[in-house]
Amino acid sequence: MADEAKAKGNAAFSSGDFNAAVTHFTDAINLAPTNHVLFSNRSAAHASLNHYDEALSDAKKTVELKPDWGKGYSRLGAAHLGLNQFEEAVDAYSKGLEIDPSNEALKSGLSDAQASASRSRSAPPPNPFGDAFQGPEMWAKLTADASTRGFLKQPDFVNMMQEIQKNPSNLNHYLKDQRVMQALGVLLNVQFRTQTGDEEVDLQEDEMAVPQRKEPEVEKKREPEPEPEPEPEVGEEEKEKKERKQKALKEKELGNAAYKKKDFETAIQHYTAAMEIDDEDISYITNRAAVHLEMGEYDECIKDCDKAVERGRELRSDYKMVAKALTRKGTALGKMAKSSKDYEPVIETYQKALTEHRNPETLKRLNEAERAKKELEQQEYFDPSIGDEEREKGNEFFKEQKYPDAVRHYTEAIKRNPKDPRAYSNRAACYTKLGAMPEGLKDAEKCIELDPTFSKGYSRKGAVQFFMKEYDNAMETYQEGLKHDPNNQELLDGVRRCVQQINKANRGDLTPEEIKERQAKGMQDPEIQNILTDPVMRQVLSDLQENPAAAQKHMQNPMVMNKIQKLISSGIVQMK
């Protein structure tokens, strides 16, 4: 049950429904309160909801339950970071790395925590206007207001606003720029006056270098006048930067066009040129990696992906871009694993990608890699001769009535040769002896699936159904087996036993306990439920009790008779 709740929590987390994930992980914890993974997962869900106090509590519990597990310290560090407890976060990540020195998530977290701690120690008092510049709402307000919309087309203004967003204290450096003052007024919903008169600030990019109107008055108020002179130089620098980016983007577009035409060599040339022009955008590197991947140059693809990840961390690029590079690397490693048969690096790389950004496509590829690894292990484990030996050992224990030991050997036989129906048949017999009917039924059905002509599979399945007192189902199973082996005595005996039980019910010879037991089981049968909710059958049953003459008409319908027979066998309807 705990595993089922955990699986639901993982699914909800993957889909972004973090509240549901918390609920499911809580259910799992209630069922398995000592499972450290459950607390770790719920900590991650709380952190995704910005509930860092709860995330911290779960992370501490994770470390308490499993102090030698690196991921627990990763959760602990993330929770401390969310609470702006930077020194504690550094300690948590450092302890985690002592346990798992190669853990990329811990390394990345430690780097972030150290940087945040350094900034907090050197940071000046918070700017009172800091909240006005937080989040995407700032850009939306500036775009919506006519007085600031034009500024967003000016690279130097955008750069200043980005610097202020990163650190609101930088506002003090830009207050002399009247565009910033105008933007601040819009964000605070306050109308500021310019330094030179009563008009609202509405400057164009080329006006930044010249004084405002009433020049003599401005010169008296601030000396010397050339104070804004450096701004044209910043504008030039930004202009050059913008031109470089435009050139790089042009090369990228040419590379994309060549890639679509399958002209891979040309695509690589253009992406390489873009990388040389602008080294602050890792998408050029990941695109070139995609070309190498398409060409089957997996080593080159992996090198580019590693370069993109390294450069992305230096630039603090979007986590999604870093995750994309890691996913692409995982794909290249997956291609190589088809010949090397080593899926561990593939799985590890996809897991790293998911720590950066939980992308459903990456998760799907991780599952595929894990499945491929499992199938490979099964293939390597496959050995029919050892499987036969294990089956014979199971037979010996079965004869000695040591059924648990027999199950263990039959299970090993199945691992060695999953296509052998005899091992499933024998294990089904063991489960039946042990009273594990659902497991026995599952093995018997697998046996029939592997070899539909194997009569033993039908006798095993029929026996399980008989013990479960599903006599009609058992009858059908035995009859199906007789189609393949008409003279099989075990199947014939099974039919005879089922007929005896069904006739016993028809004669009304069941004891009250047997009737009650059959009725309870019958009411759980979906087929019985459908019969009882069928309006036609309800009328038939009513006629049987109140109007026998009318009921005779219904009895001429074979389908109705089959349904009534089903109800009689289940004990729902009793013949008088």
Report the length, in residues, of the chain: 576
Indicate if 384-509 has the same CATH topology as 1-121: yes
* Cβ-based neighbour number of residue 216 at 10 Å: 8
CB 504 within 8 A of CB 510: yes
With residues binned 3-state (H G I as helix, E B as strand, rest as coil), the percentages for the chain, rounded to 5, are 80, 0, 20
Q: What is the pLDDT along the chain (576 residues), one digit of tens a residue?
A: 678 888 888 888 877 788 888 999 899 999 888 999 999 999 988 888 888 889 999 999 999 999 988 888 999 989 988 888 888 999 998 998 888 888 888 888 888 888 877 776 654 555 555 566 766 677 777 887 877 877 887 888 888 888 887 777 777 777 767 788 788 777 776 655 444 333 332 323 332 222 333 333 333 334 333 434 344 444 577 788 888 889 999 999 999 999 999 999 999 999 999 999 998 899 999 999 999 999 999 999 999 999 999 999 998 888 899 999 999 999 999 999 988 888 999 999 999 999 988 889 999 999 999 999 888 888 878 889 999 999 999 999 999 999 999 999 999 999 999 999 999 999 999 999 988 899 999 999 999 999 999 999 999 999 999 988 888 899 999 999 999 999 999 999 999 998 888 887 666 666 777 667 666 766 767 777 787 778 877 777 777 767 766 666 666 777 877 777 777 666 666 555
Q: Which string of DSSP letters, residue by residue, matches 487-525?
A: T-HHHHHHHHHHHHHHHHHHHT---HHHHHHHHHHHHT-
Which positions ≥6 away from 236 have C-beta within 8 Å?
none
CB 412 within 8 A of CB 381: no
- For the chain, helix (H) and strand (E) counts, in that order, are 32, 0
d(CA 49, CA 39): 15
Closest CA to 474 of 432, 418, 422, 516: 432
d(CA 419, CA 440): 17
d(CA 303, CA 364): 24
Note the pLDDT of residue 167. 77
- In terms of CATH architecture, what is 384-509? Alpha Horseshoe (1.25)
CB 444 within 8 A of CB 461: yes
Note the pLDDT of residue 569. 65
Query: Which tokens in the block code for residue 341?
Result: 């048969």
Q: Which string of DSSP letters, residue by residue, matches 340-408?
A: H---HHHHHHHHHHHHH---HHHHHHHHHHHHHHHHHHHHHH--HHHHHHHHHHHHHHHHTT-HHHHHH
Q: Does domain 1-121 fall into CATH 1.25.10.10?
A: no
* Cβ-based neighbour number of residue 291 at 10 Å: 23
Note the pLDDT of residue 230. 40
- In terms of CATH architecture, what is 242-370? Alpha Horseshoe (1.25)
Domain boundaries, the chain: 1-121, 136-188, 242-370, 384-509, 521-570
Residue 98's alpha-carbon distances to 59, 73, 93, in angstroms, are 17, 10, 9
Which positions ≥6 away from 347 have C-beta within 8 Å?
366, 369, 370, 373
Q: Give a three-class secondary structure readout of 225-251.
A: CCCCCHHHHHHHHHHHHHHHHHHHHHH
| CATH topology classification for 521-570 | 434 Repressor (Amino-terminal Domain) (1.10.260)
